[in-house]
Chains A and B, each alone.
Chain A
Amino acid sequence: MAEVIHKRVKPLQVNPFKLSQPMGATLAFMGVDNCMPLMHGAQGCTSLTKVFFTRHFCEPIAIQTTAVTDALAVLDGGDYSIVESVKNICKKVTPSLIGLHTTGLPETKGDDIAGVAKKVDFPLVYVNTPDYEGGFESGWALTCKAMIEQLVAPATRVNDNKLVLLPHVSLQPIEVEKIKDFIESFGFNVLALPDLSSSLDGHLGEKQAALSSGGIAVEEIKALGDAGLVISVGDSMQASAGALQKKNPLMRHQHFSHLQGLEATDALAELLLAETGFSGPPLMLARWRQRLQDAMLDSHFSLGQTRFLVVAEPDQIAAICQALYDVGGKVTVAISSVDSPQLEKIRAKKVLVGDLEDAEQLAADYDLIIGNFHCEALAHRLHKGLVLRGFPNWEQVGNPLKNDLLYEGGAYFLFECANAATLMRAHLAAS
């Protein structure tokens, strides 16, 4: 479909928008109620990650580090710093789970975190997430899989009413909530893993907790095995769905590459209708579908004459490109943070694994950029339109409530892009 370049050709990244695997892992653990993510490595990774998410979500972020130092870095197998960390964390708070994940440092020296984890007498999930492999999306996915493998109890029966949702990393809290609502409106009981929809949705709590509040409970994770159906969203989440099915072979699985745009949403509705035997959807969904149809027509003129650059994690690129394609938007360039089989399916003229320097060199090919806040400088310098999406977005408030999915969010997304494109053309004409 597209020209796809899977490998970076340069010896470096210039203006990267790629994010690391440990950061994805941290975020996934934040979708568990009362969890303390514990990053195994030197203290800087944790500190940078904390600042990063605090600024993106405008929320306090609880996360700890094993604070590996010089001497330990060479000598210790991770035992001291991990065991000691758990002790010190529990002096102050009582998490329901500790989410232990690695960085490049302990992986380079070969710490055996699975071994150490066995010595810790506290509920803990461990996962290897070296930051010299994979990226944000895979860190999240690996963590989700680890939680399933290490926590979920095997089951032999299914409850057809119970449904597990596995969302990919680029879905904002409100998007997870909207998918849950959509499915729940068909009468299902939906549990999302991880679930940022109630932990990082930007709510003002009664007090300042030292742990995340909201998210799926550990007890709920343990009991996921009897769900009748698991729905994975984003290709990165396929493996997690597989891990869940291993806990109970009776569980069925439906996969969606994404849930953006008319067709994808229709497919979800179709599945739920078939599962329930309902003859039609809840009234609200039907009304939003009509609004999306109308939004597609209203926005197609502006979007149809716009050429896009989309820079994001693979699963999000797939979603955005499809939504734009449906209304005639031409994604001339899509740049992915990392390689993924998903890239082959992307609706774009050219797809590459790269950085924002690549974006700059291809500037003649597009008019409007969809990407994270680093794209702002780019858009400014090159006089392009801009719609901010992905991590981080430090320029705007309200990130947790940005919804691009399903019928409703799909309509808002198209309007936002169409308006940005129109505004951009007005600016260009005036300058």
Chain B
Amino acid sequence: MSQKPKIKDLLNESACAHNKTKKVACNAPTPGATTGGCAFEGAQISLFPYADAAHLVHGPMTCIGSSWETRATQTDWPGRDLTQMGFTTDINLNDVVFSGEEKLRDAIDYIMANYAPQAVFVYSTCVTAMIGDDLDLICKQAAEKHGVPMVPVHAPGFVGSKNLGSRLGGEAALRHLIGTREPETTTPFDINLIGEYNVTGDMWQYAHLLDELGIRVLATLSGNGRIADIRCAHRAKLNVIVCAKSLISLTRKMQEQYGILSISLSFYGKRDTSNGLLAIATALGDADLLKRTKQLIVREEALLDEKLKPYRRVFAGKKAVLNTGGNKTWSIAAALQDLGIEVVATAVKKATEDDREKARQVLGEDGVLMMNPGAEQARLIDERGAHLLLAGGRSLYTAIKKGIAFADVNQEKKKSYGGYSGLLNLAEDLKNSLENPVFKLVARRAPWQK
């Protein structure tokens, strides 16, 4: 039987709350009016942070040539960080005509001989899926030959979006890694972090707190991850999904197969971080752990409030408009409020029903949920007297025109905004932005235009 996951099944994810409201064709992009990434990219994002594994892209040059070394997923893996390397079979016309299987086989052998990774992920892409190269067979044979897991990842770009690709990545891990090894020891407080990729070290903003509470991160998918750990992930007591709806099908299946409960939360901003820690302690169901968690939260919040004091003066009376998508529509809004900034509007055009509801809760009655932010944001800045626009790069011009500060929240960020300490980073960045004269100066008219 084919090892390929059934795309239909993945699209009909019953555990995904927004599924019922989405059209069946939610994976069919509109020709000429689409901007998102492909399934391959999504799969790569969800598996890439395993720095001890090689990520071999079986396809032509666009897929990896333009996308390696782009994400700052950090790791403390002491060996060479294979995430920051690009491996591709770079197939050519000859391979397209006569199959690229032999090349793929040789490429895996080459990687094993030269880099000795703990596993190899082999990604199919549009062209190699079309020509029908048999990844499953090649991976099976290579795994036997080399004695480490070889994981075929069937997420060629044409099957759908980045989001679907992340699910397919999770699926591949479930089929080929999870449950293939037993941990040396277990504790009652073993959890898996799912969907946290440790971009800019986000995970490290709160991992030490879990540690202090005696909560052990058994495995991650896949931030700062290790192949050996994810193979043991089936022994965790709890799956913690961090800000990633796309991996809900994975955790549902892990619940079915291994009885692992799962909760979904975010570590963004003060309130979310506190709520997240509480949720984990509650789910693990230990009274003492819960008590200790509450104490730790009180301590950490007090510490943070102390450090935020100088910023509060800067942010007092400041208003912001937020134009982003997905869970950022409310999570960044909440973080801004934690800093004492009033959020007068947030864009919900690209958000799910769930996210819209949350945004409504966070912003309260007065806040505007923008359905058409491109047109609305400029007007709202005027009407509400906003001082700050947080959006993607395309909105920079709106800010310049209005002469207000701008912060890019969509670009690949360089600093972590996660956890309690991440909020300090955000505060610092926003303060710098508010105090920067450039936004007023750059729109200045030339002497010959006056």
Q: Which residues of A are interface residues toward B (Cβ below 8 A)?
A: 10-16, 18-23, 38, 41-52, 54-55, 60, 64-70, 72-73, 80-82, 84-89, 91-92, 103-105, 108-109, 130-133, 135, 204, 207-208, 373-374, 377, 392, 394
Contact = CB atoms under 8 A, between A and B. Distances in A.
Contact of A60 (B90, B394, B412): B394
B393 A377 contact: no
Given A19-B66, A73-B126, A208-B397, A44 B31 contact: no
B59 interface: yes
Most A Cβ at <10 Å: residue of B7, B41, B412: B41
Nearest to B396: A208
Contacts of A377: 69, 84
A66 B32 contact: yes
B34 A108 contact: no
A49 B37 CA distance: 10
Nearest to A8: B90
Given A11-B110, A18-B61, A67 B156 contact: no
B437 interface: no
A64 B103 CA distance: 32
B212 interface: no
A105 B130 contact: yes
A41 B89 CA distance: 20
A86 B66 contact: no
Contact of A20 (B7, B61, B107, B412): B61
A137 to B, nearest CB: 12
A297 B65 CA distance: 39
A44 B59 contact: no
B90 A18 contact: yes
Contacts of B68: 15-16, 374
A47 B62 contact: no
A10 B108 CA distance: 11
B63 interface: yes
Interface string B71-111: 00000000000001111111111011000000110110011
Contacts of B39: 44
B96 A12 contact: no
B66 A105 contact: no
30 contacts: A11-B103, A11-B107, A12-B107, A13-B90, A14-B85, A16-B64, A18-B61, A43-B34, A44-B41, A44-B63, A44-B126, A49-B66, A51-B66, A65-B32, A68-B158, A70-B160, A73-B126, A80-B31, A84-B30, A85-B32, A87-B32, A88-B30, A91-B33, A92-B33, A104-B60, A133-B92, A208-B396, A208-B398, A374-B68, A374-B69
B232 to A, nearest CB: 30
B31 A41 contact: no
A373 B69 CA distance: 9
Contacts, number: 208
B34 A67 contact: yes
Given A54-B393, A69-B158, A88-B33, A133 B86 contact: no
Contacts of B103: 11-12
B33 A204 contact: no
A399 to B, nearest CB: 16
Given A45-B62, A49-B66, A73-B126, A14 B27 contact: no
A132 B95 contact: yes
Contacts of A108: 96, 126-127, 130-131
B29 interface: yes
Contacts of A374: 68-69, 86
B60 A16 contact: no
A270 B435 CA distance: 54
Nearest to A104: B127
Contacts of A85: 31-33
Nearest to A105: B126
Contacts of A68: 31, 158
**Residue among A15, A54, A80 with the highest chain B CB neighbour number at 10 A:** A15
B443 to A, nearest CB: 9
B157 interface: yes
A66 B31 contact: yes
Nearest to B39: A44
Contacts of B111: 12
Instruction: Please give me the 6 A-B residue pairs with the lowest Cβ-Cβ distance, nearest first.
Output: A44-B38, A85-B32, A88-B32, A11-B106, A42-B157, A12-B107
B33 A89 contact: yes
A42 B32 contact: no
A135 B396 CA distance: 33
A59 B114 CA distance: 39
Contact of B67 (A13, A48, A72): A48
B28 interface: yes
A176 B370 CA distance: 43
A44 B61 contact: no
A69 B63 CA distance: 16
A56 to B, nearest CB: 10
B35 interface: yes
A15 B69 CA distance: 9
Given A11-B89, A73-B126, A374-B69, A44 B40 contact: yes
B85 A15 contact: yes
B35 A47 contact: yes
A84 B31 contact: yes
B38 A132 contact: no
Contacts of A16: 61, 64-65, 68, 86, 88, 90
Contacts of B398: 208
Nearest to B38: A44
Nearest to B111: A12
Contacts of A66: 31-32
A18 B397 contact: no
Contacts of B34: 43, 46, 64-65, 67
B228 interface: no
Given A41-B126, A47-B35, A108-B131, A22 B393 contact: no
